[in-house]
Structure 1
Amino acid sequence: MINIEKKPKVLVIGDLMIDSYLIGSCDRIATDAPIPVVDIKEEKSVLGGAGNVIRNLASLGAKVSVMSVVGNDDNAKLLKHLLDEIQTKSFLIEQKGRKTSKKTRIMAGISQVFRFDHESKNNISFDNVKSLYSKLVEKIKAYDVILLADYGKGVLTKDFTQKIISYANKNSVKTIVDPYGSDYSKYKGATLIIPNKEEAQAVTKIEISNDDKLLDALKVIKKDFETEYAIITLAEEGIAVLKENKLSVMPTVPLEVYDVTGSGDTVLASIGYALSLNNSIYDSVEFANLATGVVLRKTGTATVSIEEIQSDQVYLDRKLIEKNLACKVK
């Protein structure tokens, strides 16, 4: 396990959302159209997008702050309430005419039947970029790490993202990015960018078909975007890490997957949490694998706690001991 002697101070900047769930049962097809009819029994709303990163950090015990832009609407009011519930320090700007992002999922049991989105995707205004950056300059010394949660909804513009990374580097504050799109030049100079395999292939133009290609892709990411570390997430295969120009694939935890929703948010939160406490990249990735293993066994945008991760670590250690003993008996 990683060093968790203190509670890190983490700033999250990015696209906040509400994940809304309409949950019920489905046992018939509509008579007026060939579509399932879900009898809704429960409705709930939780923080999504950058908000789910925040939820995971809070669950891990971090002291979390957030900077973002939302709309002037009822969804913004709900979002602020949800942030207050988990004691998040918020600097949110309301932009007139902007829609606060909300994703509504229709669930039949644990299965998603349908989803509809209510959101704006245009870049935030220049004045709001200026206001957010001024707040960052004012508060930079208060944070151990900055997490950039980019979902392509317009908060992390290219100019703003580069300003964040540049100013953080000047003040020796780590920046860790969950990227969006194929233009990673906006993230140049970050401590770490966390692409998945498909994203890494798109940005490096390398088809990752074997370990040699995987190593090449990691090297390109580190060199071209001037990151301190390079990793690529590989779904059920784990996370690939580049260190000293060598490849290491940290395997994921054996588990039964119920829902992959929000798993990338958990990776960003857990690696950010671990690195903010000055753990090694290897220990941080191992921690993230354990954290993600817990979340994938839950439905919807879920969170993970230190206690759950420690429980999984004990289980894995016991299995490793049993395996070694079995080998010795043979």
Structure 2
Amino acid sequence: MIKTDVKPKILVIGDLMIDAYLIGSCDRIALDAPVPVLDIKEEIDVLGGAGNVVRNLASLGAKVSVMSVTGDGQNGKELKHLLDQLETKSFILEQKGRKTSRKTRIMSNGKQIFRFDHESKNNISFDNVKKLYSKLQEKIKAYDAILLADYGKGVLTRDFTQKIIQYANKHDVKTIVDPYGDDYSKYQGAYLIIPNKDEASKVTGIDIDNDDRLLDALKEIKNKFETKEAIVTLSEEGVAVLNENNKLSVLPTVPLEVFDVTGSGDTLLASMGYALAGNNDIISSVEFANLATGVVLRKAGTSTVSIDEIQSDQTYLDRKIIERNLSCKLN
């Protein structure tokens, strides 16, 4: 378990969203069209995207700040209100004519049956990039780490992303990236980029079909994009890490039930950022992130995780390991 006595100061920059849920039951077909009718019982709006990263960091106990751009409509106002409820330090700019991302999920009997999105994907204005970067320069010494939550909605433009990373490196502040797209040169010089197996294969050109090729991909990511650390997520198989000996380590996921994968990537970014901001090593940080992600996978919808929940899972796993070892000795 990582050190949790000192609460890290973390800045999140990226695409903020609202995750909206219409929850109900569906037990009849409409008379005017051959479609199911959802009887809505509950409506819930929570922070999504970079906002869910913020929620998870706050739940872990980090001191969180966030920078982003929203639209100038009602969704933007609601998003700011949701951030205010978390008591984060926010620097949120409005851009006229821009749509604040809102993803609405239709839930019936505990399962998602449909989703519709309302959003803009064009890059934020040059003027807003200038304002955000100016604020970053003013506040850089206040942060232990910067998390870049890129969902391809236009906040993390190529120029802005490179400016963030270069300025953070100049001040010895770690940048951890949840990437989007196939061109990782945008994230050149980041402390850590977190791709999944398919993404790693695309950006390196390596067909990852065995452990040797996986190790090659990790080395290529670190060398090609000049990162300090290299990991690749492997879904249910865990997380692959390039360890301090330049060898492959695969750390397994928590072997518990998966209920809903929504937002698990946000939790992984938040928990990795939390751990690395506290100067924990990469192996300990991934173990912590695996536990954190395991917790939210057992929850419905966009969820968060706390230190107490992670420690509870760690205790459970430690007990299982002891039981397994005793069983082996008895046999």
Which has the larger displacement, 296-305 or 208-217? 208-217
Question: Are 2:89 and 1:93 equivalent residues in the alignment?
Answer: no
Question: Are 2:239 and 1:239 equivalent residues in the alignment?
Answer: yes
Residue 77 of structure 2 aligns to which amino acid in structure 1?
Answer: K
Residue 102 of structure 2 aligns to which amino acid in structure 1?
Answer: K
Question: Are 2:288 and 1:287 equivalent residues in the alignment?
Answer: yes
Residue 108 of structure 2 aligns to which amino acid in structure 1?
Answer: A
> 1:70-219, aligned counterparts within 5 Å?
70-219=70-219
Residue 261 of structure 1 aligns to which amino acid in structure 2?
Answer: T
**Length-normalised TM-score, structure 1:** 0.99
List per-residue Cα deviations over 1:92-134 (Å, max 9, x = no partner): 1100110111000000022111111000000001110000000
Q: Partners in 2 of 1:213 and 1:30 — Cα distance?
A: 53
Aligned twin of 2:250: 249
Aligned twin of 1:298: 299
Aligned twin of 2:276: 275
**Length-normalised TM-score, structure 2:** 0.99
Aligned twin of 2:13: 13
Q: Partners in 2 of 1:61 and 1:120 — Cα distance?
A: 32
**Identity value in percent:** 78
Q: Partners in 2 of 1:2 and 1:321 — Cα distance?
A: 21
> 1:253-264, aligned counterparts within 5 Å?
253-264=254-265
* CA positional deviation for 1:28: 2.1
* CA positional deviation for 1:36: 2.1
Divergent runs of 4+, >4 A: none
* CA positional deviation for 1:295: 0.2
Q: Partners in 1 of 2:81 and 2:175 — Cα distance?
A: 27
Q: Partners in 2 of 1:223 and 1:22 — Cα distance?
A: 45
Aligned twin of 1:67: 67
* CA positional deviation for 1:26: 1.1
List per-residue Cα deviations over 1:271-306 (Å, max 9, x = no partner): 000000001100000000000000000010000000
Aligned twin of 1:34: 34
List per-residue Cα deviations over 1:198-234 (Å, max 9, x = no partner): 1111111112111111111111100100000000001
Residue 280 of structure 2 aligns to which amino acid in structure 1?
Answer: N
Residue 222 of structure 1 aligns to which amino acid in structure 2?
Answer: K
User: SS of 2:90's equivalent?
Assistant: strand
Aligned twin of 1:307: 308
User: SS of 1:138's equivalent?
Assistant: helix
Residue 62 of structure 1 aligns to which amino acid in structure 2?
Answer: A
User: SS of 1:6's equivalent?
Assistant: coil
List per-residue Cα deviations over 1:105-164 (Å, max 9, x = no partner): 000022111111000000001110000000000000000000000000000000000000
* CA positional deviation for 1:33: 3.1
Q: Partners in 2 of 1:35 and 1:217 — Cα distance?
A: 46
Residue 145 of structure 2 aligns to which amino acid in structure 1?
Answer: V
Q: Partners in 2 of 1:132 and 1:168 — Cα distance?
A: 14
* CA positional deviation for 1:310: 0.2
List per-residue Cα deviations over 1:251-280 (Å, max 9, x = no partner): 000111111000000000000000000011
Aligned twin of 1:48: 48
Root-mean-square deviation (Å):
0.7
Residue 307 of structure 1 aligns to which amino acid in structure 2?
Answer: D
Q: Which runs of 5+ in 2 are unaligned?
A: none
List per-residue Cα deviations over 1:65-116 (Å, max 9, x = no partner): 0000101010111111100111111001100110111000000022111111
Residue 218 of structure 1 aligns to which amino acid in structure 2?
Answer: L
